[in-house]
Amino acid sequence: MKKFLVIFIFFSSLKCFSQKDTSKYDRLEEIIDNDKRYALHNNYLQAGAGFGGSTIRKTEQSSIGIDFVFHIKRQHFQLGFLMSGDKFLANNNLSGHLGYCYRIEDERRNIAFTAGVSQNKGGIAAHLDGTDTIPELLYRNPGIYLSASYIKKLTYDIGIGVELIAELNQTQQFVGIKGVLFFSGAYRGKAKIYNRHVKTKRK
């Protein structure tokens, strides 16, 4: 786990230094879309539900998750929570995650790829297997979190899409897919005659 963190931080640092953006960062920079003002540098909330499979469970798992993607200047990060179980809200695994997010956004779509670390907690209840009683399994361990999402925007700050997720740790490997809703905090109001922070206008 320590090796993964060192490698992740190293490559993230290289990415930051290798990107040479000659344009000056303006945290208040806005664009105009459909006569409305939106912040170019914005955060968003993504929530949804879906299905997945676990290497330590025989049945398909239902999952519910919520993620908050925030930025520090031009860099984006994802903080989220995921719960899964045999049925929705009948949870046998809970996890939280934090990672670096590579985000691509325009007026039609929002695409994001995330890699980071997670903390998992869960268990399997004791059951009978033939004549043998299988003891319950309880675990709490760190792992690796990966995700990729594609959002089709209905308006600039609201959308719907799909997300692929994976959580890998020493106890289980979980892979799933979710349908998600997208809510951005980009909206700033109606377009005005002049705003010095507006750099782009779209019809």
Quote the CA–CA distance of 137 and 123 in Å, as a whole number: 5
Pairwise pLDDT comparison (22 vs 138), residue with the higher score:
138
pLDDT in tens, 100-159: 999 999 999 999 999 999 999 988 876 656 666 666 788 899 999 999 999 999 999 999
* pLDDT for the residue numbered 127: 61
Cβ neighbours of residue 114 under 8 Å, at least 6 residues apart?
A: 78, 99, 100, 101, 102, 145, 146, 147, 148
At which residue do the structure tokens 């049925």 appear?
87
pLDDT in tens, 59-92: 899 999 999 999 999 999 999 999 999 888 888 8
Are the C-beta atoms of 92 and 85 separated by less than 8 Å? yes
Cβ neighbours of residue 146 under 8 Å, at least 6 residues apart?
A: 114, 115, 165, 166, 167, 168
CA angle 59, 165, 102 (to 5 degrees): 180
Are the C-beta atoms of 185 and 38 separated by less than 8 Å? no
* pLDDT for the residue numbered 203: 42
Q: Quick check: pTM over 0.85?
A: no
With H, G, I as helix, E, B as strand and everything else as coil, classify residue 9: helix
CB under 8 Å, gap of 24 or more: what pairs does 5-12 form? 5/117, 8/100, 8/115, 8/116, 12/100
Task: Return the CATH class of domain 29-191.
Answer: mainly beta
Report whether pLDDT(44) > 90: yes
Q: Band of the pLDDT at 57, cuts 50, 70, 90?
A: confident
